[in-house]
Structure 1
């Protein structure tokens, strides 16, 4: 009997040019490409991956630099350098017949450490007289500087009281208005004066035009202060004459989370701060009787507190910037210097006075990467909070002049 063998099913051969064949080839190529791409990505990831606790490098384009718009600022700044002119009333050159010439002339040594809180007032005057902004022709002037010194008046027995100082300033404004006439063209809106003493807030109180029209460049820049108008007046940074710090203490050498040292008698906010955090081991918060020297605290801490005292301003903000310690500002209504140019949120922490109980929680919530970005931004903006014997580009003097430049046409 013959055995019948089962024949295998016949295989259909694909014609090379058939659509099904083309589709099969394309799918094969696509799968190959995807496989190769995946391998490359995997290899790259292995090469570039960093340990989880290593901070990523600062990417200014990603986080935003500490300026609102540096390009716009820089362009306008160059226009200022080339065009701004300031007339200084001649009292600044001294008048041997005047019994009050000491109130107007620059002091011989504006970098004297004894000037302390009032250094910025004198440094501005000295810097201005060394600059190219001064013109002897009042018809070319965009602005007029009244060179009286509130600090000098405060130290003069004849003019010590706030009432006497405001009387003197009111008489002076009336004198220049009647004798020279430049005041009358704008009602004083193109005139400015500079002060960093707390009594300066009342200096313009007895002359209506001086109080409401003239530009006040002041350290006591508080929204809550009745004679300070942010759109008209200028916040002056309160800077002590500190030695230059060219090399800042790196973050790894800053073992304390928080540092604050200062008197508490004249500030309820500071009293609350001390009551809540004095005994916290991560913070160094104490009165002036401290074991850690004041300047060392700024060098060895990550965050340094500026807490409202008698005024909204203290030199601690600029001390923190000077020594590379991220400022923590606890001072309601404080108009921060150069806030229309600098984005303070990129290099400082601002906390409401009512949130002191949350201080540690807020600071610990800042990641290492964000802290390093703030620290790097401090390095960028430090030059704006420094006075130089000879004014330099973008230093405190030029930043104040830029603020005046922005207000030069406010009377038109």
Structure 2
């Protein structure tokens, strides 16, 4: 019996081998060539999405249409980018709109096009920024003047004949080193993500509503979908000013928006009514949109429209703990930025959406992921979130909104900074810098010292005094400059004194200066902004900025330094000023009158952090620095703008001193610009110019004044540390 089984097994094996041989021979004779591309795929295209989505990675099933030679899927920085163009500096060139440089004004060329309002904002923030260069030979990146934001061919902003226009660009070079901004791609009914209507070549896509399958890691940039009226600069701050108790608002989860009866994106929104309970979960939709909604409406339209009209969108937004952000026709939607600003924690229902700037932003700290296919699990997910996590998520929404999304300028600059960090030799910010306040855009990675907001690192216990001398007055033992330097030598915290001699006359020789126990350096450097240059001589974090005619005692200097060490991210000093809105003139006003609040502490007698010198020289818009140099004025106001913009904190005034300068000089001596009648008018003009360039008014008011302990208390002077301060008149 066993022998029969063995013979049967051998026979079957021989038959199988013969079949394989004859079958393979037949295939070869038929000339069939195996091509893996012809085989159908049963693999979910989002099986590898988890690494991009973090621990809450989700997938979306369905057919996936590969791009049809529109986007080069194999592009990487190493293969589609010329690093040599960025070897000297990171500059961005914007093609001129006239078309003359592009070679488009010849015979048969298309007429130049006017970009949409949104794209014009993109171009404006670039050309007014520190990135811009008018010289294409110095450019690392190139940005088109052709409006590519809206590539829906049914849109009024759709630009035709883009392929032919691109071929006429002098520096196109197959798209290498170009950045293409896009918000909408494809059109009804498919809204194909890859359908831009032209070949992007080797260009980097800065695109909204990108899916993980089409996103090229390390090359493309996913940007948010923003309204055409999104602020160009500045932008409104987040709506959450404090973390209020109780932690949960009136509604736990809310959504109000339109739904699509049919077509792509309709399945998710059409099912939301299953979760709506009219108590703590409010999810209302309407199909009442479009020209033919009545012909296309389904059985639920009338009921949904009634529920939709019962709730106000703004009230829902501000009174909900979490807000649902379902996909629309495309993966991204305007709702995402709206809920971020409102501090309503986003609950995302958009499977495989590559979130904006996900290369650097840790979205797991700001959003909740849900799965479109598991819609009924959403209530259980949102009810399981702890109050502690809600606090953290809400706070992070405000940080991200304020630092990266509140204006088109921030969106564009974030795009550029991500690309910059990919270049060889460029310093890279870590995740902590990107995901904490004040954010990466105001954090210079090449700075080697301690940042002002890094409270974990101890600050220096001494300071560098920087005296700005522009009058060129003779240096005598009775002159204000001589007495000021002498007062600085008596402070035990003075590390060095640097005199910025901004007058055309030569500075006095060192033998004329008082004898000092600390180094004295005299730098002959004309220019109004010279006082804020990051001089290599300065080695301390703390800088005491002084005008040459400032009058301060050693006790006042020491006390102000003690206060600054507790608030290193602020300007701490003596002379206070204020700004106000003038309704009659429709502009900002500047006043030196003493009131109950202030918003500016002049740097004629103030402490600030050395890092702000680097921001002032390397980060500010060239338009701001040009305004200061042309007016020979307002550099102290600009420094206050800068510090308040970065930290969102007001300055701090110390003690009661009001007059911090010497009395006006007599006739025949150098005259201070503060006594010029046009000086005040110039400063008011500067205030409005700065606000226009920043896009908003960053100055913040404060009514706080810090005095020493036991200040003017009826106790013995022996118990007081800063005894001379009380002797100073106001």
Would you say same fold, with TM above 0.5?
Answer: yes
Aligned residues of 2:186 and 2:196 also touching (Cα < 8 A): no
1:235 match: secondary structure: strand
Instruction: Give SS of 1:319's match.
Output: helix
Shift in Å, 1:155: 8.5
Cα separation, 2, equivalents of 1:230 and 1:197: 20
**1:320 & 1:217 partners in 2: Cα distance?**
22
Provide the C-alpha distance between the structure 2 equivalents of 1:406 and 1:378, rounded to a whole number of angstroms.
24
Taking the aligned partners of 2:150 and 2:350, their CA distance within structure 1 comes to: 28
Q: Which of 133, 155, 161 is matched with 1:168 structurally?
A: 161
Q: For 1:207-263, what per-residue CA distance to the aligned partner results, in whole angstroms no more than 9, with x for missing partners?
A: 3xx24x1111111212345xx534322111122337724542755472100111122
Given the superposition, is the C-alpha separation of residues 282 and 122 from structure 1 closer, same or farther in structure 2, using an over 3 Å criterion? farther
Residues 150 and 182 of structure 2 are in contact (CA less than 8 Å); yes or no, is this contact kept in structure 1? no
Separation in 2, partners of 1:362, 1:342:
23
**What are the residue-to-residue correspondences of 1:385-404 with 2, within 5 Å?**
385-388=404-407, 391=409, 395-404=410-419
Instruction: Give me the CA root mean square deviation.
Output: 3.2
Correspondences of 1:55-134 after superposition (within 5 Å): 83-91=89-97, 100-104=111-115, 110=117, 119=118, 121-134=119-132
Using structure 1 for the length normalisation, give the TM-score.
0.63
Query: What's 2:257 paired with?
Result: 262
Determine the C-alpha separation between the residues in 2 that align with 1:158 and 1:273.
32
CA distance in 1, matches of 2:329, 2:337: 17
- 1:222 alignment counterpart: 211
Separation of aligned partners in 2, 1:302 and 1:130: 39
Report whether the alignment pairs 1:316 with 2:335.
Answer: yes
Other structure's SS at 2:168 match: helix
Q: Is the 8 A contact 1:383 1:396 kept in 2?
A: no
**Which residue pairs with 1:192 in the alignment?**
179
Deviation at 1:408, TM superposition (A): 5.8
The match for 1:248 is 240
TM-superposed CA distance for 1:83, in Å, is 3.8
Q: In 1, Cα distance between the equivalents of 2:398 and 2:354?
A: 22
Query: Any residues of structure 2 matched to 1:1-400 within 5 Å, and which?
Result: 83-91=89-97, 100-104=111-115, 110=117, 119=118, 121-150=119-148, 160=158, 165=159, 168-176=161-169, 180=170, 182-184=171-173, 187-199=174-186, 201-202=193-194, 204-207=196-199, 210-211=200-201, 213-225=202-214, 228-240=215-227, 241=230, 244-245=236-237, 247-248=239-240, 250-251=243-244, 252=246, 254-265=249-260, 266-274=265-273, 276-279=274-277, 281-288=279-286, 289-388=308-407, 391=409, 395-400=410-415
Given that 1:221 and 1:312 are in contact with CA atoms closer than 8 Å, whether structure 2 keeps it comes out as: yes
Aligned length: 295
> Is the 1:216–1:234 Cα contact (8 Å) retained in structure 2?
yes
Q: Distance in 2 between matches of 1:383 and 1:223?
A: 26
Contact residue 212 and residue 354 of structure 2 kept, 8 A:
yes
> Secondary structure in 2 aligned to 1:262?
strand
CA spacing shift, 1:308–1:261, aligned 2, 3 Å: same
Q: 1:92–1:282: structure 2 CA closer, same or farther, 3 Å change rule?
A: farther
Larger relative contact order (CA 8 Å, sep ≥ 6)? 1
Say which SS state the counterpart of residue 338 (structure 1) adopts.
coil
Structure with more of its chain in helix, by fraction: 1
Q: What is the Cα deviation at residue 158 of structure 1?
A: 9.1
SS at structure 2 position matched to 1:193? strand
Q: Give the Cα–Cα distance (whole angstroms) in 1 for the partners of residues 322 and 157 of structure 2.
A: 40
Quote the offset at 1:313 in angstroms.
Answer: 0.3
Deviation string for 1:248-297 (max 9, x for gaps)? 275547210011112221520111222x2123521110014332222222
Kindly state the Cα deviation for residue 331 of structure 1 after the two structures are TM-superposed.
0.5
The 1:153/1:220 distance shift into structure 2, 3 A limit, reads closer
**Aligned residues of 1:169 and 1:203 also touching (Cα < 8 A):** no
Distance 1:199 1:127 in 2: 27
8 Å Cα contact 1:170-1:204 kept in structure 2 = no
TM-score between the two structures when normalised by the length of structure 2: 0.37
1:257–1:283 CA contact under 8 A, matched in 2: yes
1:92–1:147 CA contact under 8 A, matched in 2: no
Deviation at 1:368, TM superposition (A): 0.6
Higher strand share: 2
Decide whether aligned partners of structure 1 residues 169 and 363 sit closer, same or farther in structure 2, where only a CA change above 3 A counts: same
Unaligned residue ranges in structure 1 (runs of 5+): 1-79, 111-118
- Report the alpha carbon displacement of residue 197 of structure 1 after superposing the two structures with TM: 2.1
Is the Cα contact below 8 Å between 1:258 and 1:283 reproduced in 2?
Answer: yes
CA distance in 2, matches of 1:103, 1:324: 36
In the alignment, structure 2 segments of 5+ residues that lack a partner are: 1-85, 188-192, 287-307, 425-730
Residues in 1 aligned to 2:138 and 2:100: alpha-carbon distance in whole angstroms: 23
Shift of 1:205: 4.8
